[in-house]
Structure 1
Amino acid sequence: MAEVEDLIEDVAIRLPGADDIRARGQRRRTRARAVRGGAAGALVLAAAGAWGLLLPADGPEARQTVTTTTANPFRTADGEVMMRQADELPGYATWHWKETTSLPKGTGPISDALPQVGLDGACPASFVPADEPDRKGYSLLYTGSGHALAQHRITEYDDTATARSQVTALRGAMERCGLHSASQTAGEREEGTAVWSGTVDDGRTLRVTVRRWESWVSVEEVLHGTPAG
């Protein structure tokens, strides 16, 4: 069975019973049938059903794992990668996220590759190694009120071991940026998400959420608004 892995150590999570897991799986299959051939927005809504199947993990980098399903939670049965819609991102009620294809003038460098994090140059201590592993990357950028920025990246590596090592490097980059493990929302706990947060050099708050499933890694970054460049 495939493993869905949570990246936070020593977190107590209540696991649903077998009947609940079976019911969730049936609801997900119903959603998947409903969205086949539908619009991209509907596919993202199907993703919300998939997140509900993620349970905690084990292992040195993901301390708590439960084998529940072989289905990839980041991709539909039709092969569509499930990126977050703007209103699903943390802080939407405050920052009113909108998808964008280009960032505002003066915004710092943005990279799709891990372990770089920070948006707008907010985390210069992170870096992309010269020997970056082979990967397939998918990303969306978002702008918000008060010059807030967000990014969602999903990266597919060649194997699980590479994905695990990249998550390790990502954790090191976040620690160098001064980020620390933070509390999760109820939805994030259900999704098996690790949350990191902290204040970056210009005084803004950077919030990063990380998930891994086998060789796939999802990273959501939210850089709170003000100051502007």
Structure 2
Amino acid sequence: MAEVEELLEGVPVRLAPAQAVRARGERRRARQRLGGAAVVVVAAVAVGVGSWAAQSPPRDTPPAATRTENPFVVGGVVRLLPANSVAYFKTRAWTADAVTSDSAGLPSVGLDGVCGGTVGADPAAGQQFARTYTGKGGARARHRIAEYADSGLAQDAIRGMDHRLAQCGVRQTGEGGGDRPWVQYAGTTGDGTQLRVSLERAGAWVSVVEIQFAARS
């Protein structure tokens, strides 16, 4: 009784009869046993659900997203590179020429007669867009984007450029596949001009970036 009095700061407490106390104790133990059993059941259910989730694939999961957008046309506008996005901008300080479109189609390659480049539309292409750039030391660059009727014709144009570049001594230096296959070339043509070419295809669209400068410029 001392512990109860100390805990309650002297407030008199009337204890229930012993039989009532024992009955309450039995009821409390029964509730504890029932609660413990419920916890075990919940735990078992949780383990079972966790095991099922680990072994079964999730439902209603959307398939992996595929990149079907055209990186060369955004909002209906063809994205020709601004001068400061063309490679070697720090050393060549490119400026876009006043005329931002010409009719040089694929597989023609090279500017100012380099690599046998000629001006002329590609009859296999639908839409063709181009921008040329002038840089320090007589460097030239061009970005072209062409749309074809299908991806097969676009790939044919790339093969044609590959053949044309090989003829003037410019070789492939890298390539990649996937939904946007790309190819890069580098070399020196017979007249000493260094030529760098990057091609990328997205479906029936092809993007070509050419950069050329004299070997010692």
TM-score by length of 1: 0.58
Percent same amino acid at aligned positions? 34
Match of 2:72 among 51, 71, 74: 74
Amino acid at match of 1:181: Q
Q: Confirm or deny: 8 A CA contact 1:194 1:210 kept in the other structure.
A: yes
Deviates more, 1:149-158 or 1:131-140: 131-140
Q: State the aligned residue count.
A: 149
If asked which structure has higher relative contact order (CA below 8 Å, sep 6+), I would say 1
Match of 2:124 among 121, 133, 155: 133
Aligned to 1:106: none
Q: Which has the larger radius of gyration?
A: 2
Q: CA RMSD in A?
A: 2.9
Match of 2:211 among 218, 222, 227: 222
5+ unaligned residues in a row in structure 1: which ranges?
1-66, 104-109, 185-190
Hey, which bits of structure 1, 4+ residues long, moved more than 2 A? 126-132, 225-228
Q: Deviations over 1:185-211 (max 9, x none)?
A: xxxxxx753110110122120000000
Alignment of 1:43-192 (within 5 A): 68-76=66-74, 78-102=75-99, 112-124=104-116, 132-182=123-173
Q: In 2, Cα distance between the equivalents of 1:147 and 1:131?
A: 27
**Cα deviation, residue 94, structure 1:** 1.3
5+ unaligned residues in a row in structure 2: which ranges?
1-64
**Cα deviation, residue 133, structure 1:** 1.4
Change (3 A) 1:120 1:91: same
**Cα deviation, residue 170, structure 1:** 1.1
Amino acid at match of 1:84: L
Change (3 A) 1:226 1:100: farther
TM-score by length of 2: 0.61
Q: Confirm or deny: 8 A CA contact 2:139 2:212 kept in the other structure.
A: yes
Q: In 2, Cα distance between the equivalents of 1:168 and 1:95?
A: 29
Q: Confirm or deny: 8 A CA contact 1:198 1:207 kept in the other structure.
A: yes
Q: In 1, Cα distance between the equivalents of 2:164 and 2:119?
A: 10
What secondary structure, in the 3-state scheme, does the structure 1 residue paired with 2:78 have? coil
Q: In 2, Cα distance between the equivalents of 1:131 and 1:96?
A: 30
Aligned to 2:33: none
